[in-house]
Structures are given as structure tokens and as C-alpha cells.
């Protein structure tokens, strides 16, 4: 079950690349961090967000959940981005390591519970 999520997220990275490269040089400065719906599968909708430091956040939502609005997803990404920034500022965290921060985990869990 977990493997299929990893696969979904992995393929979504290609879509992120497409979205980024499609914008063009002139608009590159104004590129929004929020990338919107990356692609829908039959079971899931996948949303993307990429920071200016090329860190990508991907949210996978059940297709049957139609009540989640775009601005709710945006605010989820904003919270993720803020929590991630706090994790980065932990001097004991080495960039690139899997995140083991309890604060980050609890924020993500709360967010997921609230959304569904």
C-alpha cells in the first residue's frame, strides 16, 4: 500500500518538472510556489508545490474527497512549508536526511486529520 504511494509521488515529480519547464524564462520570476493539481488518477488527486530552493512537496488526496477546495490545499502547503523551514533550522538536522522531527510529524498529522 505504501509502495503505491511512493510510486504515485515519484511519477508526480516528472509532472512537476514539466510544469516548471513549461513556464518559460520570462515568467520564471513570477512563478508561484503552488503548482496546483498535478494529475488525477482513478483513485487519487495529486497536488504539487515547489519552493525556490527546489524542495518539492506533494499532497496525495483521495478522489472521493470532493470537499477539499483549492485554497485549503494552498494553506496546507503553506503550513508544510513553514514546518519544513522550522525543521531546517534545527541545528541537529542535516539537510537531505529523512525528517524525524516530532514537531513536524505532529503538525502534519493534525493537518491530515483536519482535512478529512
Partner 1 sequence: MSRQSNRATDSKKMNSELFTLTYGALVTQLCKDYENDEEVNKQLDKIKFTSHVVLHRFFQEGCAAGKITNKMGYNIGVRLIEDFLARSSVGRCHDFRETADVIAKVAFKMYLGITPSVTNWSPAGDEFSLILESNPLVDFVELPDNHSNLVYSSLLCGVLRGALEMVQMAVDVRFAQDTLRGDSVTEIRMKFIKRIEENLPAGDE
H/E/C letters for each residue in 62-94? ECCCCCCCHHHHHHHHHHHHHHHHHHHHCCCCC
The residue (of 1 and 89) whose beta carbon lies closer to partner 1 is 89
Contact predicate 74/34, CB 8 Å? yes
Least separation in angstroms between residue 91's CB and partner 1 is 3
Least separation in angstroms between residue 103's CB and partner 1 is 6
For residue 113, state whether it binds partner 1 (rule: CB under 8 A): no
Q: How far is CA 22 from CA 26, 32, 62, 72, in A?
A: 11, 13, 27, 25
For residue 103, state whether it binds partner 1 (rule: CB under 8 A): yes
x/- binding map, residues 73-102, to partner 1, per CB under 8 A?
A: ------x--xx-xxx-xxxxx------xxx
**Which residues in this chain contact partner 1 in the complex, by CB under 8 A?**
79, 82-83, 85-87, 89-93, 100-103, 107
Amino acid at each position: 500500500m505504501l509502495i503505491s504511494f511512493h510510486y504515485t509521488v515519484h511519477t508526480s515529480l516528472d509532472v512537476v518538472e514539466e510544469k516548471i519547464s513549461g513556464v518559460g524564462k520570462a515568467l520564471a520570476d513570477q512563478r508561484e510556489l503552488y503548482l496546483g493539481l498535478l494529475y488525477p488518477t482513478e483513485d487519487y488527486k495529486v497536488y504539487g508545490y515547489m519552493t525556490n530552493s527546489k524542495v518539492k512537496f506533494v499532497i496525495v488526496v483521495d478522489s472521493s474527497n470532493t470537499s477539499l477546495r483549492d485554497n485549503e490545499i494552498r494553506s496546507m502547503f503553506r503550513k508544510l512549508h513553514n514546518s519544513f523551514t522550522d525543521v531546517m533550522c534545527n541545528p541537529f538536522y542535516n539537510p537531505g536526511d529523512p525528517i524525524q522531527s516530532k514537531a513536524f510529524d505532529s503538525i502534519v498529522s493534525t493537518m491530515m486529520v483536519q482535512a478529512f
